Chain A
Amino acid sequence: MWLVTVKGLLAHKLRLAMTALAVILGVAFVAGSFILTDTIERSFQGVINDIAGGIDLQVRPEGTGADFEAGFSQERATVPATLLDEVRDVEGVALADAVVSGQAQVIDADGQPVGGMGPPTLGLNAPTEEGFAGIEVREGRLPTSRGEVALDAFTVRTQGLEVGSAITILAGGPLEEVTLVGSVGFGAADNLAGATVLLFAFDEALERFSPTGDYDQIEILVEDGAELATVADRVASVVSDGVEVVTSEQLVEENTEAVAGVLGVFSTALLAFAGVALFVGVFIIVNTFSITVAQRVREFALLRAIGAGRRQIMTSVLVEAGVLGLLGGLVGLALGVLLAIGLRALLAAFGLDLPAEGLLVLPRTIVVGLVVGLVVTVAAAIAPALRATRIAPVQALQSAAVPTPARRGWGRLVAGSLVTLIGVVLLVIGLVADGGVAALGGGAGAVFIGVALLSPLLARPVVSVLGLPIARLLGIRGELARENAMRNPRRTATTASALMVGVGLVGFVGILGASLTASLGDAVDEVYRLDLDVRSTTFQAIPAAIGDDLAALGETELALTQRLGQFELDDAQRFLFGVDTDRVTDIYAIEVTEGSLDELAAGGIALSESAAERDGVGLGDALQVRFPATGEATLDVRAIYDGRSIDVDYMIDTAFYREFYVSDEVFAIGVLLADGVSPEDGQGAVDAALAAYPGVVAMDRTAVRENLTAQVDQVVGLVYGLLGLAIVIAFVGIVNTLALSVFERVRELGLLRAVGMSRRQVRSMIRWESVLISVLGVTLGLGVGLFFGWLLVQALQDDFPLRLVIPTGQLALAVVIAVVAGVLAGVLPARRAARVDVLRAVTTD
């Protein structure tokens, strides 16, 4: 039996390779995801360790652990400046340094901020001693006086800057020229996990980034030989309320956890796409094994006739699958490494510089890759293997080509409908009852499986209709292509189903993207009353002075500054919108449902409906809040508004905002043009005023809408790209199925050639069969995708009303691409078919 299996494998190298490809690509995706995230995690870990390794203790405001949530405001809780000297006096403290940080950007040769929309751009004080907090000088020295800066070595390198030369920076005010005195690294890394870092002399950093003169943290090195815990206790005894002391070990732990959390999301997302690719692969493997079992009926029957047991037949097929799965897993792992390298290069292009160490391939990656390859392949082969065991020995003696009569398939209809229904129920539970990602994924998977089960019933009528124009146009080759695509509906349908999965998801994402874009556009049209929206392209705070500059222009009637600050409510961090409440409705259409925004000028706070519900407060209630710099405050609820119109949950008047926050940072300015000023003139005047502030732009409503659309499109494009692999696998499946079908129809092709079908006509016939399978897959996929899109839009109706938009252009393009890809997938099988040796085909064996 083993001999038969091994020889069987060797005899069909091409089939083996094509089937393995489905496994290989899936495993590569899984392995690549693991390798990349493991490698990134190790790099972050290195940075975390290097930085934490440079200090022993940190004094910081309570509850300000590793927090990756970026706000517009840099205002946060601080450590009183007076504490530094006290800490320095504690016995056992060798060195204590304050840390103050804020936003600071380097301006590149084109006058644009380095970093763009990507990673953060930080400004920090230089440590008093090199090596402290992991900061190491690579070239030059640390800044010691005003007008000097050091920059992370990555930015120095990529921007082609020279130590000793002048550079332009932007840090909370207008452009400035400063001298670059050094380049620094952070342990082994050249930058902080992608962030651009500018170091200033301490006094300058304090002036720039700390409006109160207090510190973010105090970092401590203890004396050699001193007991860390003892020193920590001593430091803790001198610090005030609301400030805590943590060890570097704790810091490492916290940061590691935070990084793992963020990377976990990233890794899960990548693995989800890998899962889709594998899911598609399963269809291909099932189909290939089904076809080959069907083609080997005589072989199996002969084996049965000479005494092989059912179990041996089953084992033979499963072992073949197992070998294939393991081989696919191995090659997939290797390909996964390449994929990870590619993805890393992509990340590097976006500015996330990872230390140039080797990729990290953990034993877990290898085990998971191989197991996934093995399990997926063997599981997919079980049904075909069972079918192989049902072959009767007598079939060895019968002629092979007995066409199986078309069954009515009531069982299939019931099973398929049931699975589809279960999928839909799971989806609804996931969407409406917050059943979570598992319910959604399971539901989508079940719908795909259900439709795949039903698809053989659909294949014949659908192909019959789709094939009609082809048969009309191309005559006999088209007719034969159509007949061939219909002759084995299960085979055609399974092949098309693989494509359906990929296309279904693409269609869904396309619909979601189009609906989102349209709805966001609608919202802009409905809510935005302003003429120009001024903000940073990098989601950073902009100087409040810009508001004054714009208000002073003759072309503007109003330049309304908007502030956004973090505060604490019921132990949760929330964002507070600070705006001139008398005028806010001039720039945004806000629907107030209770109370009035006018009253906010006298104090108090307004809440969105959803926030009021969440916090359990109503009009007239008092809200206990805590501001980072100014501490506790009580605010009366004076108004409740519809938060779907404007995406902020808490709003107060600018006058009070300034009381609660010490820094005066603005995140956006809404501009109304004066009467009689044309949009062009207005834009021109505002642009001129903004020239001094790189990275700050003024967008009219159209631009705002386009900007939102572009952001959605970017995400949609990324998802398309990641789904692309699943679609490629599906087309490999079409190639595979057709190649096997051609092999099966050698005699028929030979006969066609003998009675006068030209090679061209043969090729055309096979290509159009390929196109028909492809179009069937796309049709089913778009059907499922439309349904998913519709379902999601309905489910979101309460929280986030979306207008269902079907991107007909994109979907039509998908069909065109399917036809082209179908033609391409048919090229190789068509060539093989055209090369069929007429003589061998027609002579009786």
Chain B
Amino acid sequence: MAEVPTAVRVAASATDLVKVYGSGDTEVRALDGVDIRFPVGGFTAIMGPSGSGKSTLLHCLAGLDRPTSGSVHIGDTEITGLGDAELTRLRRDRIGFIFQAFNLIPTLTAAENIELPLRLAGRRAEAGWLDRLIDTVGLRHRLDHRPSELSGGQQQRTAAARALATRPDIVFGDEPTGNLDSRAGGDLLGLLRSSAREFGQTIVMVTHDPGAAAFADRVVFLADGRIVDEMADPTADRVLERMKHLELGVSAPDAADAAAASDPEVADGGPADPNG
């Protein structure tokens, strides 16, 4: 049944990760020396106020963005030096993604979307695995539908199934419940938690919803590009409390404005975000 993760096995890690946008007066240090490890089978939530660098961290970990310095490992593979073709293969075979929105290809059916990474690799799924996955996400009766015919929750569950289909080393979620109502969001998070527990799937998720973070095993708090705290076995109340504290602690008003004005990622979880 569930694989038991040993403390030494690490699915992904970052060492002294720095990401700088711009230069001179407009320089923004989105990540400022981040060290973090994600043990196999763990479900980690990354939280932090707007502009704290949480999305940047996720993008660097997933090989979508290149850090200014420091290194990232997926399993044993150092990915910071890889070329585009190798990174693409890495994403295809060893990483799963769930984004906040636009997770599916509109011209493909739910089933085709789920199989997409496998088909891109020219591989077939392990016997029974896809079936089990489809039953787990509860999409058996919607497989032949196109995304436009699925509800938001069904779309995100399809995305989750796609992310899990290749049995990746690690699944990254970027505000996966951001566009869902609380019930659909809860369903998805429950699904992620059970895949971590039952299948030993490593999951890293960025969120700013304390309720979402409470589904994780561990919450990592980020502020000003640094890890400022960690919390094991979180609850929504404790996370909320910690976040309030964090936001008060760092947001001198003009500093936040300056960051918002120059941060190229301002759209991501920035002040304009309805949930922020």
Contact = CB atoms under 8 A, between A and B. Distances in A.
A18 to B, nearest CB: 25
Interface of B: 55, 59, 64-65, 84-85, 88-89, 91-93, 97, 99-108, 112, 116-117, 119-122, 148, 162, 174-175, 178, 265, 267-268
A748 B106 CA distance: 8
Task: Output the residue of A756, A839, A845 with the most chain B CB within 10 A.
Answer: A756
B107 A483 contact: yes
Contact of B64 (A476, A480, A839): A839
A843 B62 CA distance: 13
A484 interface: yes
Contacts of A748: 102, 105-106
B236 to A, nearest CB: 23
Nearest to A477: B120
26 contacts: A401-B106, A403-B106, A403-B148, A475-B119, A476-B116, A480-B105, A483-B107, A487-B107, A747-B102, A748-B106, A751-B104, A752-B116, A754-B91, A754-B99, A755-B120, A756-B92, A756-B120, A757-B88, A759-B84, A759-B88, A839-B64, A842-B97, A842-B99, A842-B174, A844-B175, A844-B178
Contacts of A486: 107
Contacts of B101: 844
B157 to A, nearest CB: 16
Contact of A751 (B89, B93, B102): B102
B122 A475 contact: yes
Contacts of B108: 479-480, 483
A755 B64 contact: no
A843 B265 contact: yes
Contacts of A756: 88-89, 91-93, 117, 120-121
Interface residues of A, number: 28
A844 B267 contact: yes
B105 A758 contact: no
A753 interface: yes
B267 A755 contact: no
A428 interface: no
Task: Output the residue of A476, A487, A755, A761 with the most chain B CB within 10 A.
Answer: A755
A479 B116 CA distance: 11
A843 B56 CA distance: 11
B97 A755 contact: yes
A839 B62 CA distance: 11
Given A480-B107, A842-B64, A844-B175, A754 B97 contact: yes
Interface string A447-484: 00000000000000000000000000001100110011
Contacts of B84: 759
A844 B100 contact: yes
Contacts of B117: 755-756
B88 A753 contact: yes
A843 B267 contact: yes
A2 to B, nearest CB: 30
B119 A476 contact: yes
A491 to B, nearest CB: 14
A520 B164 CA distance: 70
B174 A758 contact: no
A710 B177 CA distance: 72
Interface string A812-845: 0000000000000000000000000011001111
Contacts of A484: 107
A755 B91 contact: yes
A776 to B, nearest CB: 17
Interface of A: 401, 403, 475-476, 479-480, 483-484, 486-487, 747-748, 751-759, 761, 838-839, 842-845
A486 B178 CA distance: 32
A839 B88 contact: no
A843 B55 CA distance: 9
Contacts of B116: 476, 752, 755
A403 B105 CA distance: 13
A401 B106 CA distance: 10
B85 A758 contact: yes
Contacts of B65: 839
B57 to A, nearest CB: 13
B105 A843 contact: no
Contacts of A842: 64, 97, 99, 102, 174
B251 to A, nearest CB: 22
A487 B106 CA distance: 9
A842 B267 CA distance: 12
Contacts of B112: 479
Contacts of A403: 106, 148
Nearest to A841: B102
B175 A755 contact: no
Nearest to B65: A839
A486 B106 CA distance: 12
Contacts of A480: 105, 107-108
Given A480-B107, A757-B88, A844-B178, 10 more contacts: A480-B105, A480-B108, A751-B104, A752-B105, A754-B64, A754-B97, A754-B99, A756-B121, A843-B55, A844-B175
A753 B120 CA distance: 10
4 closest A-B pairs by CB: A756-B92, A483-B107, A476-B119, A758-B88
Given A403-B148, A759-B84, A839-B64, A844 B91 contact: no
A685 B101 CA distance: 87
A843 B268 contact: yes
Contact of B89 (A479, A758, A838): A758
B270 to A, nearest CB: 11
A746 to B, nearest CB: 10
Nearest to B103: A751
Contacts of A755: 91-92, 97, 116-117, 120, 162
A754 B100 CA distance: 14
B218 to A, nearest CB: 25
Given A480-B105, A748-B102, A842-B174, A761 B120 contact: yes
A476 B107 contact: no
Contacts of B55: 843
A476 B102 contact: no
Given A480-B105, A844-B267, A759 B85 contact: yes
B62 to A, nearest CB: 8
A205 B85 CA distance: 83
Given A843-B265, A844-B175, A476 B97 contact: no
A34 B120 CA distance: 55
A752 B97 CA distance: 11
A761 B85 CA distance: 11
Task: Output the residue of B85, B102, B175, B268 with the most chain A CB within 10 A.
Answer: B102
A758 B174 CA distance: 22
B131 to A, nearest CB: 20
B117 to A, nearest CB: 5
A754 B162 CA distance: 12
A768 to B, nearest CB: 14
Task: Output the residue of A401, A403, A748, A842 with the most chain B CB within 10 A.
Answer: A842
Task: Output the residue of A475, A751, A759 with the most chain B CB within 10 A.
Answer: A751
B34 to A, nearest CB: 18
Contacts of B93: 756
Contacts of B92: 755-758
B208 to A, nearest CB: 13
A838 B105 contact: no
A806 B267 CA distance: 60
